[in-house]
Structure 1
């Protein structure tokens, strides 16, 4: 006789409901998306990765800020493990590198086994160029001891100075006002010049950099400098472009003392310069301080160094920046630009005795060949513009002078102050309302 057999009871734990609601996870994503992430300086065209400000430190610290935000808003919080898992969904990292690494060297290191002969040849040429830069730079650093009429200077834009700045937890979770600082460091004299402005007064483009460079050239000319050798990185949006080159070319034609100005462009990823030490000193100065207002940065710049001399700080506003687009268009004709490999230029030299000529080298090797590029404003004898070979034919060219009178002739770059985003303005006002920014300073913002 058949007996009924009943299946045994399933003692396995049934699927438990999700520990955290979708609303809680959604709030985490909303929190992350509101963070003030910015792209890398050099690699923004190659990658979508963005970077959070240095003061946020790491994910653990960011999670603490998230918990504090949840307590204030009454939102359900998730565990740190879940928070990290959601954070990894975004291509976000911490700490923008002070100098982005060389992409060529990184690729070669990661692909040693698959490199072709052409790749190896290209990499060897890259290494040779890198090695040729060091002795040249070292020799230039010692020129001041041999010749008092020669100045060797390096310049660079410091990483964005977010304001308010400090270690206070109240300052972390908000968008901040950006302050820029273009610094010049003279290796022989150890003099430092800081040109600083806020995001309402200008951007970080070639016109702004060229304007600051012209102001520095004017200082050098008044000091009686005859030969000026400049070192900078190869960022095409700021330093290596026709606007900067046209500005230097135009300046030397009307200079009183300067006879030679040379721009040396370092390889991307191999751009450590003495001016970087200045930025490190400034960062140490403000490390344990709270900077509430943009105007305070200039004071901290000056107090960052006592010996041999304090830094010389020049604060700029929107009326200082020049629109040099027309000057660049008249200096570099379409025919000239076709011949000039601007992205590959390593050295650009301008001489007062050779007006409207630029001597370029595409390598820093001693055996590299110098190429002469003719710069001009295309004007016929009747004064009408005409197409040509990039060479002015006539007795004298009509110069566009870059000085206090002339700069206005070309026009200022901005007619009024620039606006910040509504979201950034809202965050700054919130810092004022919560007392994170003192009332005496918050009145200037609101």
Structure 2
């Protein structure tokens, strides 16, 4: 699997979280793989060297752990830097708590992408050393009424670019939020981590600004502080993971049923299974060229943004949650911002299903042996190079 937290900064691949140590993995290699293939195992030294040469790792990188807090414990960060870090963390938490307790705001959501799911999966030993199809689950949770939403798609239907997340959020606003709105409450707040490719980029900001203009609503994006991004949407991930533990997954669509039944009270999660035709090309919307606050070296960057506000055809921003005033971008606009585009008329992002690598397709073909024949058709028809 690819890294969940470091997709943009590493090419390292990670094994499924089955083995705790390299020794356990080597034991599995000798006792299971080599016996099944009737081959002589390599030595532990050769095995270890090959493992590292292939740029593999046993664990998911803990990028969501706080670098500053860890560095402070090892005395590599000064007391002043650490106290400033704690202040910023607390400001974000206080702001989120204020939104949660504000009785005048009905639509306050946290959102996050669950760690990569895989299909197929079962307890057959051959499953453990084959690559599988990645399945993505983007979750949205209303912290006011505890409604949860899952948007599921496989890597054959879409990727993890800003266009996919823009498509989901705009569809979510149009289909799940707007029908519940009234004239006196036209505000939506989204809380998330600060992942730039997912939550903090010009493509998504243009999409949300366009939606704000199209439906005359105000949208806020607010970001938790790096390293301290625990939020209510994470509870959906743990609930779903408990549900699928020790469960067989034959095809990606099996996750739909498990997500729907992962929670019964106060009500089940709403689950949407997406195909390639769902995703739109939001790069066609270009109200703003960039959402970076500064322009030259040393100026604030996108990662310094703490809040974005989309209202009346303008994007405003804050660099601290405690700032009393909003700032406007200068010289970042294109054309007439007041003229919104109808998102329904945007071109599709994909004209056909996405191709997977030939090696992965061949692995999936070999894994069909552990699946009932009814599921073979799905894997036979996945496009590949």
Q: Is residue 314 of structure 1 aligned with residue 272 of structure 2?
A: yes
Shift of residue 174, structure 1, vs aligned partner: 0.4
Cα distance change on mapping 1:138 and 1:336 into 2, 3 Å: closer
Relative contact order: is structure 1 or structure 2 higher (C-alpha 8 Å, sep ≥ 6)?
2
Deviations along 1:82-131, whole A, 9 cap, x unmatched? 7457646666432325762122333333343xx5xxx6544432221012
Q: Is residue 285 of structure 1 aligned with residue 243 of structure 2?
A: yes
Cα distance change on mapping 1:319 and 1:49 into 2, 3 Å: closer
Q: Secondary structure at the match of 2:315?
A: strand
Cα distance change on mapping 1:50 and 1:100 into 2, 3 Å: farther
- The residue number in structure 1 matching 2:282 is 324
- The residue number in structure 2 matching 1:296 is 254
Deviations along 1:180-223, whole A, 9 cap, x unmatched? 11110011111111111111111011110111010111121111
- The residue number in structure 1 matching 2:383 is none
Q: What CA RMSD, in Å, does the superposition of the two structures yield over aligned residues?
A: 2.7
CA contact (8 A) 1:356 1:376 kept: no
Question: 1:388-407 residue pairs with structure 2 within 5 A?
Answer: 392=336, 397-402=338-343, 404=344, 406-407=345-346
Q: Is residue 414 of structure 1 aligned with residue 350 of structure 2?
A: yes
CA contact (8 A) 2:100 2:144 kept: yes
Counterpart CA distance in 2 for 1:41 and 1:52 is: 14
- The residue number in structure 1 matching 2:132 is 176
- The residue number in structure 1 matching 2:167 is 211
- The residue number in structure 2 matching 1:430 is 366
Q: TM-score, normalised by structure 1?
A: 0.76
CA contact (8 A) 2:293 2:301 kept: no
Q: Is residue 233 of structure 1 aligned with residue 193 of structure 2?
A: yes
Cα distance change on mapping 1:359 and 1:87 into 2, 3 Å: same
CA contact (8 A) 1:155 1:185 kept: yes
Cα distance change on mapping 1:374 and 1:400 into 2, 3 Å: farther
CA contact (8 A) 2:93 2:224 kept: no
Q: Is residue 261 of structure 1 aligned with residue 261 of structure 2?
A: no
Q: Which runs of 5+ in 2 are unaligned?
A: 381-385
Cα distance change on mapping 1:159 and 1:40 into 2, 3 Å: closer
- The residue number in structure 1 matching 2:377 is 443
Shift of residue 307, structure 1, vs aligned partner: 1.1
Instruction: Identify which range, 336-345 or 305-314, moves more after superposition.
Output: 336-345
Cα distance change on mapping 1:292 and 1:61 into 2, 3 Å: farther
Of 65, 81, 100 in structure 2, the residue corresponding to residue 101 of structure 1 is 65
Cα distance change on mapping 1:283 and 1:173 into 2, 3 Å: same
Q: Is residue 252 of structure 1 aligned with residue 252 of structure 2?
A: no
Shift of residue 373, structure 1, vs aligned partner: 2.8
CA contact (8 A) 1:183 1:192 kept: yes
Counterpart CA distance in 2 for 1:181 and 1:260 is: 26
- The residue number in structure 2 matching 1:3 is none
Question: 1:334-353 residue pairs with structure 2 within 5 A?
Answer: 338=295, 341-351=301-311
CA contact (8 A) 1:196 1:313 kept: yes
CA contact (8 A) 2:139 2:151 kept: yes
Of 178, 193, 196 in structure 1, the residue corresponding to residue 149 of structure 2 is 193
Of 121, 127, 135 in structure 1, the residue corresponding to residue 86 of structure 2 is 127
Shift of residue 135, structure 1, vs aligned partner: 1.8
Counterpart CA distance in 1 for 2:266 and 2:85 is: 38
Counterpart CA distance in 2 for 1:212 and 1:293 is: 22
Of 163, 166, 169 in structure 1, the residue corresponding to residue 122 of structure 2 is 166
Question: Is the radius of gyration larger for structure 1 or structure 2?
Answer: 1
CA contact (8 A) 2:3 2:61 kept: no
Of 223, 229, 232 in structure 2, the residue corresponding to residue 274 of structure 1 is 232
Counterpart CA distance in 2 for 1:216 and 1:375 is: 31
Cα distance change on mapping 1:185 and 1:133 into 2, 3 Å: same
